[in-house]
Amino acid sequence: MSQSGDRIVSIDLDGASMGPGDVNADHERRVAIADLLEGNRFRPDGDADGPFALRLAIEHDRLVFDVRQEDNTPVHGFVFALGPLRRIIKDYFLICENYYEAVRDAPLERIEAIDMARRGVHNEGSTLLRERLTGKIEVDFDTARRLFTLICALHRRAAS
């Protein structure tokens, strides 16, 4: 199979997991979806050919990846405990709040320092997500970053 099929062509965030979000988080979610659909590497373990449709949800405090072929034929459902990601997500939310607050009136040096910390925690979460997907779904780092952003959006709303 050509690698061109190893990608996500549609993504759905479970509406039941979604609640009201803030403007900044909604913007990050929209950008992550657009960037993800523009370019990604996504290959579930097994024989299924892509491209793939992905539904992300949080159900019963678990992260659900519902992977389907583009025509909606089920491929595989993967369920992950949120526990290993919870601390990083919490740290990411805290740093994001500090960042958005700093953008309003802090000196540029402070904003840049907080942004560097935010990116570092985001990278840590993306790396952990890739590790958790090992043996189940192959993704590149940029795809993991965008998926981590979407997982944070779901988690923020599930916790609301």
Mean pLDDT of the chain: 88
Q: What is the pLDDT of residue 2?
A: 39
Over range 19-43, report the average pLDDT.
84
Q: Quick check: 1 pLDDT over 50?
A: no
Q: Which long-range contacts (CB under 8 A, 24 or more apart) does 55-58 make?
A: 55/11, 55/12, 55/13, 55/14, 56/11, 56/12, 56/13, 56/14, 56/17, 56/147, 56/150, 56/151, 56/154, 57/13, 57/14, 57/16, 57/17, 57/154, 58/14, 58/17, 58/82, 58/154, 58/155, 58/158
Quote the pLDDT of residue 61: 86
Q: What is the predicted pLDDT for the residue at 14?
A: 84
Instruction: Name the residue range of residue 38's domain.
Output: 3-159
Mean pLDDT of 61-87: 92
Q: How many domains does the chain have?
A: 1
pLDDT tens digit sequence for 91-108: 999 998 999 899 999 999
**140-155 residue pLDDT tens:** 999 999 999 999 988 8
What confidence tier does 78 reach under pLDDT thresholds 50, 70, 90? very high
